[in-house]
Homo-oligomer: A and B are copies of this chain.
Amino acid sequence: MTSMAQPLLPTPIEGLETPALLLDDARMRRNIARMRTQLARLGVAFRPHVKTNKSMDVTRLLMDSPSGPITVSTLKEADYFAARGVRDILYAVCIAPNKFAHALQLLRSGVRLSIILDSMETAELLVAFAQANGACFEVLIEIDSDGHRSGLAPDAPELVPIGGYLQQAGMVVKGVMTHAGSSYDSSTLDGVRAVAEQERAAVVTAAQRLRAAGVACPVVSVGSTPTALFAQHLEGVTEVRAGVFVFFDLVMAGIQVCTLDELALSVLATVIGHQADKGWTLIDAGWMAMSRDRGTAKQAVDQGYGLVCDLDGRPMDDLILVGANQEHGIVAHRDGRLADLTHLPVGTQLRVLPNHACSTAAQFPHYHVVGTDRQVHHIWSRFSGW
């Protein structure tokens, strides 16, 4: 291999080949502290979602203890964190039958893995598998609090029969959980607060129905970054899951959940050319680096494929990525006026703030962790795939 050697650390960000994913250490730590303060105020436990960061180095800063708890979105995440000592893991996507064996393998390796489902159909398949293999699964029933994807309505007639069936069949009904994904579509913080209360009420109602029918339901779990940060109270809820808050992103800023100077992730890119007649500056970060996520397209301020900042992370004169090819990004003024390109000669480095932290981070194998001195102090690995 002729790949470039790892730099000696610390090293200035100006010396990095681009594109590179920068993680602002101070902002990340402030974001984590903000969430911890809020959850302490609300009096609920924290089960951080690691799907955003997919890195032990980041997750270590989020967990209450080296053994967890955490929330994952894939069994590969469960494998990765289990191999690094995490023992209390919630897999928060309704389980498919072709993952039962993998889940059982995790259980038998000593991981306390909880799984979720939202139908009698899956419950019956799970029980058949568990009985055939002498296994017992800890199960949460997913509740739909906003109609945005999966889960049972809080008043669904199937809820209590599913809980009762699982309990009678020897499974542990650990509780109920929901995710108010529609909080991402809010346009105001009052909207977020309303979604947070709807999320809380839905899952607490479901828990009460199960308990009234004699089904144990110790855990009542909610979570999304906006609702976690703006819930007024979480009476009846026992734990919160959230993940994006660690980094924040333009979508979160667009719903006023954070400010632009709280965004901890940016893509470092370099100017490679210009099309002066169009007011375009070309950079070496396209959609492969930024991802194809256009989450701000439906918000009041469309940030294109990302908001362009200087090396200190300050937004520059309303420049955004107006277009992206695989390895090319097109920088221009958001209002289409011709830009003065003389301050962006070839070789200039820029930092581009992403629409969606989860999808942009997923494009990179590493975080370059940057201090307030604009030096890279650590290179942290992250993983992808299934």
A residues whose Cβ falls under 8 Å from a Cβ of B: 1-4, 15-20, 51, 73-76, 78-80, 82-83, 93-99, 101-102, 105-106, 109, 111, 117-119, 121-122, 125, 144, 147-150, 181, 270-275, 278, 282, 284, 287-289, 291-294, 323, 325-328, 330, 345-347, 349, 358-359, 362-366, 384-386
Contacts and interface: CB of A to CB of B under 8 A. Distances in A.
A330 B150 CA distance: 9
B76 A119 contact: no
8 contacts: A1-B82, A3-B76, A17-B98, A51-B327, A98-B349, A117-B273, A148-B325, A384-B384
Contact of A293 (B15, B94, B292, B323): B292
B2 A149 contact: no
A377 to B, nearest CB: 20
A364 B346 contact: no
Contact of A3 (B19, B79, B125): B79
A325 B181 contact: yes
Contacts of A17: 75, 98-99, 102, 386
A74 B327 contact: yes
A142 to B, nearest CB: 8
A346 B121 contact: yes
A72 to B, nearest CB: 10
B292 A325 contact: no
Q: Determine which residue in A147, A327, A358, A386 has the highest number of CB atoms from chain B within 10 A of its CB, and name it.
A: A386
Contacts of A273: 94, 117-119, 122, 150
A385 B4 CA distance: 14
Contacts of A274: 119
A222 B115 CA distance: 52
Nearest to A83: B1
